[in-house]
Structure 1
Amino acid sequence: MSQSQGQSQSRSTQSQTQSQTGPVRVPSDRWRLQVVHRTEFRYGGPVRSSYNEARMTPENSSRQTTLRSRVEIEPSASVHAYRDYWGSTVTAFDTHGPHTELVVKATSVVEAGPEPQVVEPVGWADLAAPDVQDRFGEFLRPSRLTAMDGSVVQEVRDVLGDAGPREAGHLVCRFVYDHIEYLTGSTNVKTNAMQAWEKGKGVCQDISHVSVGLLRALGLPARYVSGYLHPRPSAGIGQAVTGESHAWVEWWDGGWSGFDPTNVVEIGPRHVTLARGRDYSDVPPLKGIFSGPRSEGSSVTVEVTRLA
């Protein structure tokens, strides 16, 4: 049976730490965030074996530095970490002792800021060049979750007019924001882009899938990004707030440009990047299979605290 979120040594732990010496000052345009992401699965009886992958370790990049990251698993499990095809850190673990609950807790401290200055954008003719088409082929083809009908694509083309690729990326995200109402519970992890579009409602996953699908149809290489968003810009230092997993998009216009179409904001110090891929199926925070009685349900909590 499969399980997904959308799921020491009496406690198994995989951790990454960047050491520091002396006090560290955080620039005014950057935030230091602590994220605690806890998932619990409950079963109707003892589960004999469980094999899982967690994508809960934030990346290191020019925009984001992961100072500490730890993934804890109960019951005890065999753990190893690797980078997947898309460059995301995966914590793979399996456990074979009888258990009626599986708990995965990821705790990270990250310093994040705005997107770095990107290079001058290229034109549409550059994006159509064979070398670009070959290099970004996987981010140009529609996937099962991102394919959009031609009539919707033409509607977007009419809106864009003579806009260049970079401006078009922002216009597409705003176009999707204007057409899909954010409504929790209106869709699920299997909902595809056209289903969300026709319903006119969805969550960040759906809004990002539609945006990615339209960007690709226009000729812009686009990828799906998973992570977290601190939900309160006005939250005080040390104030813990309830958050949740989040998603946004990036497109290539000479360099990778990121944008959050759910909130129509640039990617900034409140965004923590975990993983990237073609769509959600490449980046679920937790997925796996198990042998035993049927699952009785799961619960997920995310707590985000601004530390500096």
Structure 2
Amino acid sequence: MASRLRIRHETRVGYPSPASSSHNEARMTPLTLPTQTVLDSRVVVTPGAAMWTYWDYWGTQVTVFDLADPHTSLSLTATSLVETAPPTQLPTPPSRAEIAARSAESRLAEYLSATPRTTVSPDLAARAVAAADGLDAHQAAAALSELVGERLAYTPGTTGVQSGAQDAWDHRVGVCQDFAHLTAALLRAAGLPARYVSGYLHPSPDAQLDRPVAGESHAWVEYWAGEWVGHDPTNGTQPGESHVIVARGREYGDVPPHKGVYRGAQGELPQVRVEFTRLA
């Protein structure tokens, strides 16, 4: 049964003295895919600014705007209405040898390379290879996700956007971003192309209709098994009607919800608020 979700994502940044100008990119517009349909989506910025959009290399819709006049704060609000579908049946995976051959001659190779946030030690990479040995793609993904789940405790506030997979493994704590980075790193070490997914997860799928609930952005992974297959290592589940995909890339650095540069004194950390309303 499909679900219909309204998502409101607000980001506010304040500056101790006026920023003379700023350039900003927002990746907050969900994608229309076989598993989800975007019925409405808009981005509003205060102070007002002209906006334009483009599709980046990784297939994400990016909203761009410049503020040329001095401003003491920046408010960015993205609102979307999305219809989502339940999980689909897992495809029959090719052999691991077939996956390796296909990856060597296509863009899948980009999702096998380590990035700054998905680099792990040789010992940990070898452990991933051993854990996935003899398993098909789905079994290997499940085994590696279980390894991550057993190692990490979900602990908000212990890591930041610059944290990497090895940091999470060493300190045994993290948030969804760390679970996703570490799982992607282990999948790649085992020879399975993996990409980082940025989006949203409704925190209460049985929430009363038309009643807003507070939530957060979310991150999970997709691995290639003849086609891209999603897996949420933080929750140990296949993504379903409560998940909404906004962007995919190699790691967080490819898909930040908001990225900007400005001229002025160092500002405060962004204040972010995400609200979900289940409509059906």
Asked whether the two chains share a fold, i.e. TM above 0.5, the reply is: yes
Q: Following the alignment from structure 1 to structure 2, what is the Cα–Cα distance between the partners of residues 162 and 218? A: 11
Q: Following the alignment from structure 1 to structure 2, what is the Cα–Cα distance between the partners of residues 205 and 219? A: 21
Q: Which residue of 1 aligns with 2:254?
A: 282
Q: Following the alignment from structure 1 to structure 2, what is the Cα–Cα distance between the partners of residues 237 and 76? A: 33
Q: Which residue of 1 aligns with 2:122?
A: 150
Q: Which residue of 2 aligns with 1:299?
A: 271
Q: Following the alignment from structure 2 to structure 1, what is the Cα–Cα distance between the partners of residues 125 and 164? A: 16
5+ residue gaps, structure 1? 1-27
Q: Which residue of 1 aligns with 2:15?
A: 43
Q: Residues 185-228 of structure 1, C-alpha deviation per residue, up to 9 Å, x if partnerless? A: 11111011101100000000011000000001111010000000
Conservation of the 8 A alpha-carbon contact between 1:118 and 1:256: no
Conservation of the 8 A alpha-carbon contact between 2:126 and 2:189: no
Alpha-carbon offset, residue 292 of structure 1: 1.7
Establish whether residue 266 from structure 1 lines up as the match of residue 257 from structure 2.
Answer: no
Pairing partner for 1:229 from 194, 201, 209:
201
Q: Which residue of 2 aligns with 1:184?
A: 156
Matches for 1:38-117 after TM superposition, within 5 Å: 38-117=10-89
Q: Following the alignment from structure 2 to structure 1, what is the Cα–Cα distance between the partners of residues 110 and 133? A: 26
Which residue identity does 2:196 align to in structure 1?
Y
Q: Following the alignment from structure 2 to structure 1, what is the Cα–Cα distance between the partners of residues 193 and 270? A: 35
Matches for 1:122-271 after TM superposition, within 5 Å: 122-129=94-101, 131-135=102-106, 136-271=108-243
Q: Residues 157-198 of structure 1, C-alpha deviation per residue, up to 9 Å, x if partnerless? A: 333342111211122112111111100011111011101100
Q: Following the alignment from structure 2 to structure 1, what is the Cα–Cα distance between the partners of residues 71 and 260? A: 15
Alpha-carbon offset, residue 271 of structure 1: 0.2
Q: Following the alignment from structure 2 to structure 1, what is the Cα–Cα distance between the partners of residues 30 and 131? A: 36
Conservation of the 8 A alpha-carbon contact between 1:62 and 1:116: no
SS in 2 for 1:249: strand
Alpha-carbon offset, residue 118 of structure 1: 5.0
Q: Following the alignment from structure 2 to structure 1, what is the Cα–Cα distance between the partners of residues 257 and 18? A: 24
| % identical equivalent positions | 44
SS in 2 for 1:265: coil
Alpha-carbon offset, residue 294 of structure 1: 2.1
Q: Following the alignment from structure 2 to structure 1, what is the Cα–Cα distance between the partners of residues 268 and 215? A: 24
Q: Following the alignment from structure 2 to structure 1, what is the Cα–Cα distance between the partners of residues 119 and 105? A: 20
CA RMSD in angstroms, aligned pairs only? 1.2
Which residue identity does 1:211 align to in structure 2?
T
SS in 2 for 1:295: coil
Which residue identity does 1:180 align to in structure 2?
L
Q: Which residue of 2 aligns with 1:34?
A: 6
Q: Following the alignment from structure 2 to structure 1, what is the Cα–Cα distance between the partners of residues 256 and 191? A: 26
Conservation of the 8 A alpha-carbon contact between 1:180 and 1:201: yes
Aligned length: 279
Q: Following the alignment from structure 1 to structure 2, what is the Cα–Cα distance between the partners of residues 107 and 97? A: 25
Query: Which segments of structure 1 move beyond 6 Å, counting only runs of 4 or more?
Result: none
Alpha-carbon offset, residue 80 of structure 1: 0.3
